[in-house]
């Protein structure tokens, strides 16, 4: 009788161990398939989880750098549009200056020409003082440079922002009414603005390169992270089918176990 009892206990413990393992495997299968992730907790793959999180941090850094570079490029586009308007005004001022240089114009005529020049100068001043990006002035000299955090760790590049105020361009006192004025002042101002636009254009092209690099780096980091974390669905479905078969076998074992125990009980009664 003791041997029969010990045998029954051994079978019961074996059955419970197999049942526990089977249930754990099924839970893991269902969890992975529902989340689409191979790693749902640290215990699934501790080393891969640590590496995947580092890759995710780098990927997020490159994504943020990409957005920062794009925002800075938008700022440069706004500044370039404003400088284009300033250039148009300077060209008109020069045209009026050449007109005022003609000997046949009287002082009254030059006064009328200067009135238009003053309006053009005011337009330049307004453009320089009122051109903003994210409520920050970008052409009045208050923003000497702009740091673009385009790198994954906050590093990046510096963009020099121009000062297009009348004083900085050297045309604040330009006046044609006296008849003794220097058109080279306007030429110098046009050259300054053209140089500013050229510098910003080069910075814009550099930002394009940075954005392309960040997008490429982010793509490959995401692919690497995916290989570590994401679920291999065909394999997962295959594992699920296998564990379901094991569960079916477990049910059969349970039924056989109950039949054996019933047989032993009947044997005990007969004896």
Higher pLDDT, residue 28 or 220: 220
Is the pLDDT score of 113 beyond 60? yes
Is the pLDDT score of 33 beyond 70? no
Confidence of residue 2 (pLDDT cuts 50, 70, 90): very low
77-105 average pLDDT score: 95
Whole-prediction pTM: 0.73
Segment among 2-6, 202-206, 211-215, 233-237 with least mean pLDDT:
2-6
The per-residue DSSP string of 138-169 comes to SSBSS--EEEE--STTS--EEEEPPB-SHHHH
Give 143-160 pLDDT, tens digit per residue: 988 999 999 998 999 999
Mean pLDDT of the chain: 83
């Amino acid at each position: 009788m003791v041997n029969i009892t010990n045998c029954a206990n051994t079978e019961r413990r074996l059955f419970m161990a197999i049942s526990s393992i089977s249930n754990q495997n099924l839970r893991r299968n269902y969890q992975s398939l529902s989340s689409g992730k191979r790693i749902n907790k640290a215990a699934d793959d501790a080393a891969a989880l640590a590496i995947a999180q580092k890759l995710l941090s780098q990927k997020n850094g490159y994504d943020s750098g990409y957005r920062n570079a794009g925002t800075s490029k938008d700022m440069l586009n706004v500044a370039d549009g404003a400088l284009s308007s300033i250039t148009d005004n300077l060209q008109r001022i020069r045209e009026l200056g050449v007109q005022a240089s003609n000997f046949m114009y009287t002082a009254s005529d030059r006064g009328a020409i200067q009135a238009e020049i003053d309006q053009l100068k005011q337009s330049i001043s307004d453009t320089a003082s009122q051109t903003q990006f994210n409520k920050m002035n970008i052409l009045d000299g208050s923003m000497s440079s702009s740091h673009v955090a385009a790198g994954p760790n906050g590093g990046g590049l510096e963009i020099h922002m121009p000062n297009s105020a009348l004083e900085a361009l050297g045309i604040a006192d330009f006046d044609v009414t006296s008849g003794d004025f220097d058109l080279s002042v306007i030429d110098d101002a046009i050259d300054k603005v053209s140089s500013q636009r050229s510098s910003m254009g080069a910075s814009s092209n550099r930002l394009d390169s940075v954005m392309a690099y960040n997008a490429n780096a982010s793509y490959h980091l995401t692919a690497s992270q995916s290989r570590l974390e994401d679920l291999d669905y065909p394999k997962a479905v295959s594992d699920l089918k296998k564990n379901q078969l094991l569960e079916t076998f477990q049910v059969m074992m349970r039924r056989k176990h109950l039949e054996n125990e019933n047989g032993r009980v009947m044997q005990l009664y007969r004896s």
